[in-house]
Structure 1
Amino acid sequence: MNRLFRLGPVLRARKAQEDAARGAVIQSRQEIRDAQALVKRRQLDLAGADAPTEGTARAMVASMVARQSLAASLSGAHQMVDDAEERTREKVAELADAAKRHRAVEMLSERHAEAVRRHDLTVDQNNIDEIAVTTKARNTARGVDTAEERGNTLRTGAGSVADRLSAAGRAAAEREGIARETANTVAAQRPQIDLADARQAIDAVRDRLSLVAKRPAEAAELDDEGNSDEDHGSR
């Protein structure tokens, strides 16, 4: 089974698109706040520019023109707020669409991860079953008797993973106990060696070897004495 998700690059691209759309929404909402702040400033400016009640006609006309300009600026600020809100709605729709597309690929990734996890569990289960069957066959070949419950577990593969591991541990402990008992039995059947008797035997062998070594030396001395007597006789 391929453990690598083939749509990984697509998933990363969809995630980047969603992040970009979210950033655009945040920026458009900031534009709305800026436009609303501009509206407040224009309203304050218009409220502060009261129409003059006295003065020349030219001054009054100039004041009226200024108020009209402020009113136009205020209307433009309101239009900016409306435009910013419209752009924000569009950005939110784009963000929702990007999130849906990202979620679709993300669900495929989650399904792939779940399939990999199930595959790994199946492989582990098969390995445990194989170990259990192999252990039972080995014990049967060695003539090792096991408990009926553990035998049923190893034979049928029933029980949880923990139960099978526990059964395998008990089997190993039983094999170790049987091996220890066999070693103790063999050690008990070995003949006991008396170290004192062995020491006496070694001393006896050494004495015989020393006697054998002395005999050629004595014979050589006798030959030397005979040769010396012959020399004296000839003289």
Structure 2
Amino acid sequence: MSKRRFRLGSVLRARQAQEDAARGQVLHARRAAADAADAAIARGERLAAHQTPGEDTARAVVAALTARQAMAASLSAARQLHLLAEQHATSRTEELTEAARRRRTVEKLAERHAEQRRQREQRAEQSDLDELGTTMTQRSAIRDMNQ
């Protein structure tokens, strides 16, 4: 009986490598999103801590308001960056899910192939046993006839 090997083994290894790469990208994207969230929180805290000067000069008040406005713009940009990082992480997670689905499809083919091989081997073994049993029965019958 010929041994049929699973020809998609290299495809399965490639799918596993793709899934591993996608998993790494998800981890990287999540880390970037967490860093962006930390940056936004830090900027928000700095903005909240920034107070207008106690001086009554117009220049000091204008400078403080300008600085506060710049800090608010920086906070807005940090929040936007965090939102984009979260969207990127979500996109990478979807790619990981798709890579896992593709890998699992090939794994199912490999499992089906292994099961078919096992069934073929069982049928061949059963056929050999049936042949052996039939031959022994025939020999016994011939011996009984000759006696």
Mapping for residues 1-235 of structure 1, pairs under 5 Å? 1-143=2-144
CA distance in 2, matches of 1:68, 1:112: 66
Alignment deviations for residues 114-167 of structure 1 (CA, whole Å, 9 cap, x no partner): 1101101101101111121122223233339xxxxxxxxxxxxxxxxxxxxxxx
> How far, CA to CA, are the matches of 1:69 and 1:2 in structure 2?
73
**Structure 1 residue matching 2:44: 3-state secondary structure:** helix
Find the aligned partners of 1:138 and 1:30 in 2 and give their Cα distance. Answer: 76
1:23-75 Cα shifts (integer Å, max 9, x gaps)? 21122112111111111111110111011242433322332222122112211
Identity of aligned residues (%): 46
Report the residue type matching 1:23 in the other structure: G
Output one character per residue of 1:191-224: Cα deviation in whole Å (capped at 9) or x when no partner: xxxxxxxxxxxxxxxxxxxxxxxxxxxxxxxxxx
TM-score with structure 2 setting the length: 0.87
Unmatched tracts of structure 2, length 5 or more: none
RMSD: 1.9
| CA distance in 2: counterparts of 1:129 and 1:75, whole angstroms | 80
Matched residue SS, 1:40: helix
Unaligned runs of 5+ in 1: 145-235
Alpha-carbon offset, residue 92 of structure 1: 2.0
Larger radius of gyration: 1
Question: Structure 1: which amino acid aligns with 2:17?
Answer: A
1:97 and 1:26 map into 2 onto residues whose CA distance is 16
**SS class of match (1:52):** coil
For 1:48, the aligned partner's letter is A
| Deviating 4+ runs (over 4 angstroms) | none
